[in-house]
């Protein structure tokens, strides 16, 4: 995927007025997501992204952390970091993170995205998938 195509898709998905707003959301979301991914998954995701966005995945990563030491942020902490990095409220951060991950889900190879989802805590599945929640609630 090309840089401008990715930005345009996020801009459209998130209803951003400008590319600058979409860029801030992309960088804030990817840098926060990068903190939660183990290096193998982060490297695989980075290989699928335009070069400038690869750097965002590594912006706040401690390269010394092992898989056992890696602890993903709670989903609320994730949204708080996205908000702080994009300089928006938590509600807006949630919308922006959803826009970025929706585009990632569409443009990444299905197997690659599915692997990332499986590596993340279950609390993130609503953010990372666009599947209906009805399937999980109809068995009661």
Domains and CATH numbers, the chain: 3-128 (1.10.490.110)
Percent with pLDDT over 70 in the chain: 86
Tabulate helix, strand, coil % of the chain (nearest 5). Answer: 70, 0, 30
pLDDT beyond 60 at 138: no
Residue 61, classed as helix, strand or coil, is coil
Two tokens, residue 79: 């949204």
**In this predicted model, which residue has the larger pLDDT, 113 or 70?**
113
Q: Tens digits of per-residue pLDDT, 20-29?
A: 999 999 999 9
pLDDT beyond 80 at 131: no
Q: Tens digits of per-residue pLDDT, 33-67?
A: 998 888 888 888 999 999 889 999 999 887 665 55
Tell me the C-alpha distance between 36 and 61, whole Å.
Answer: 9
């Amino acid at each position: 995927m090309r840089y401008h195509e990715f930005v345009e898709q996020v801009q459209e998905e998130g209803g951003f007025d400008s590319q600058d707003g979409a860029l801030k959301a992309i960088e804030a979301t990817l840098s926060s997501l990068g903190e939660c991914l183990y290096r193998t998954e982060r490297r695989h995701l980075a290989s699928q992204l335009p070069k400038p966005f690869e750097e965002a995945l590594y912006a706040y990563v401690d390269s010394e952390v092992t898989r056992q030491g890696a602890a993903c942020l709670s989903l609320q902490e994730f949204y708080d970091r996205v908000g702080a990095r994009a300089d928006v409220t938590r509600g807006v951060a949630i919308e922006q993170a959803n826009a970025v991950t929706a585009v990632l889900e569409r443009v990444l190879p299905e197997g690659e995205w599915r692997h990332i989802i499986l590596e993340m805590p279950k609390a993130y599945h609503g953010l990372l998938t666009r599947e209906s929640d009805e399937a999980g609630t109809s068995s009661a």
